[in-house]
Chain A
């Protein structure tokens, strides 16, 4: 089934200068009882965004009116822990299209790519500088060109190339879906099964 294509993106960013943000923080387990993919955004970072009484925590950057935009910039090892894809659904439902960090947990990265959320890996130094810049100047805009694999800070012109595997890049640019790809090689899978069973 066709998915939304990843177009050029130019936006301000929300900084989350914390390391090892785990998927239990992104979406706590008590919100995982749903049977559809919709509506997780309202509980994104629930226990950091709201206090016990349900009041917004003014110190958390998602609640800070200074910050807005379609890209979340977070410390290293973002998305570690549980495999819950609900974490990605919460981030996209909230309105983010990409997350920038110096590295991502493996399962989170796969989940993100399978949902059109672009995980962008940048060097530690670049990440540190970007986080500092956004906090100093929240109006800072970045441009993401997936085709050229470039992240550019609009005000300074500083640009950095990011890696993404070619297959996933094509999927995101064209809005293709992994399952469609796999269904398209059904015969190859059937032949593999025959060969495998014969070896038993």
Chain B
């Protein structure tokens, strides 16, 4: 038998049929939906007069468009309020489980799915959100789709997809102190560029990846889309299984140990062929920060902004630096900042809050910094309270908000004002992403913590004893 990659194994197992000269009909095990990319899909079902084929396979949460303060009050912004209400109505009408505001299971779709056991090894998972790649951390094929495709999945539990090519990214060695999984992925994207993995599905492997916790693996897979990859996955191992064992009740899995025995077989064959392979030495990675307006424009936090690498790219590159108020050849360490944002589906998990809290413990937030600390879910919020993190944060001058996507895409009130600099643990530094004119510097929770206490871009390694 031809050796297969893990990606091939899962994909092939889910192909209902292949269309000659066209895409595969791919069966979807799990479908997550949220308020922003689903209403038009439900409208489509209504126009066609057809039901949701498998309501039990879809799970809904409200996250993108919700406030992160006073969630017990009605949403102030009218269109947002209507959109969230529409999701609740649609879920009720079609019999889909919905975790709305104040529900104990509410949170960012890519935080909630894994922590509640909806994300399981070997699955195909889609959601109308490009950061669906997050779920790949469990050894799944998970990717973002458009609203037409959301409608396809609701109607038929299938989508039409061309099979992507395969890329293997091996990260070997030990990460230095103060360097996190966020830095791994920002480094990888800076090497490949923002479009460098377009057309590929990535498998991350190597000793540095194997040592990561599930939360840290999710951060890596989450940003696969930021280099253009369709998604990224990591083969499940004991760390994955231990994480799953801690979930009190996994939907649809009465006997997790029986399933774990099956999931243990989910790995690439030793001789499997990838279309592209990349090797990275973890010991060479430093804390990273972005200086431009796409996630590929990243460098070491103490590095120097490079010059554009070609004449064709110069216009876009320089437009980007103009927007940021930076120039090629300059260092940005020491640059005063105005905001920090800890949260999002990239870094809004309990480990991220722990790491941030540990660094600010016994220190004080700088006066010039406004901090937005947003848990990824109600569960994370509760954990942060139970573990005493909130007390430590408050003592250091920080407050914990309520869960949601928040300032990652600034659909709600959590906007960074024009011209202001924000060190953000989210995933995109596009122009205006955190509010019109906002200047985003993507970094790890540790680098955000260092910036929060110094009021300027700082090297987190200086704060690690």
Residues of A within 8 A of B433 (CB): 24, 29
Nearest CB in chain A: distance from B11 CB, A: 14
| Contact across chains for A105 and B195 when beta carbons are under 8 A apart | yes
Q: Contacts of B47 on A, CB cut-off 8 Å?
A: 1
Q: Are B130 and A107 in contact (CB under 8 A)?
A: yes
Flag if A29 contacts B411 (CB, 8 Å): yes
Binds A, one of B96-104, B146-154, B237-245, B444-452: B146-154
The reply to whether A105 and B432 contact each other, CB–CB distance below 8 Å, is no
Chain B interface residue number, banded: 35 or more
A76: which of B149, B164, B195, B432 is its contact (CB, 8 Å)? B195
Q: How far is the CB of B231 from chain A (nearest CB, A)?
A: 10
**Closest B residue to A19 using CB positions:** B316
Q: Is B79 located at the chain interface by the 8 A CB criterion?
A: yes
Q: Which of A1, A20, A47, A106 contacts B294 (CB 8 A)?
A: A20
Q: Which of the candidate stretches A5-13, A64-72, A79-87, A149-157 sits at the interface with the other chain?
A: A79-87
Q: Given A33-B77, A47-B436, are A80 and B294 also a contact pair (CB < 8 Å)?
A: yes
Interface residues on A, range: 35 or more
Given contacts A35-B83, A114-B149, contact A179 B156 (CB under 8 A): yes
Whether a CB of chain B sits under 8 angstroms from the CB of A136 is no
A182 adjacent to B146 (CB under 8 Å): no
In the complex, what residue of chain B is closest to A76 when comparing beta carbons?
B195
Q: Which residues of B contact A196 (CB under 8 A)?
A: 27
Interface residue from B156, B157, B411, B428 paired with A81 (Cβ < 8 Å): B428
| Contact status of A77 and B50, CB under 8 A, knowing A20-B316, A83-B129, A188-B17 | no
CA distance A114 to B44 in the complex (A): 13
Residue pair B411, A36 in contact (C-beta under 8 Å): no
**CB of A198 closer than 8 Å to a CB of B:** no
Q: Contacts A37-B40, A83-B144, A189-B156 hold; do A20 and B25 have CB atoms under 8 A apart? A: no
Binds B, one of A91-99, A137-145, A165-173: A165-173
Is the CB–CB distance between B146 and A110 below 8 Å?
A: yes
Contact B83 A33 (CB under 8 A): yes
Q: Is A28 an interface residue (CB 8 A)?
A: yes
The answer, among A19, A28, A80, A182, for a CB contact under 8 Å with B432, is A28
Contact flags A161-184 to B (C-beta < 8 A → 1, else 0): 000011110000000001101110
Bound-state CA distance A159–B201 (Å) is 33
Identify B430's interface contact among A81, A83, A124, A181, CB under 8 A.
Answer: A81
Closest chain B residue to A17 by CB distance?
A: B315
**Contact of A110 with B82 in the complex, beta carbons under 8 Å:** no
9 A-B residue pairs with Cβ-Cβ distance under 8 Å, sorted by A, are A18-B315, A22-B294, A24-B432, A32-B65, A75-B316, A83-B130, A85-B128, A85-B148, A178-B152
**Top 10 A-B residue pairs of the complex, sorted by shortest distance between their CB atoms:** A167-B22, A166-B21, A77-B195, A33-B79, A111-B146, A85-B146, A35-B39, A114-B148, A83-B144, A182-B156
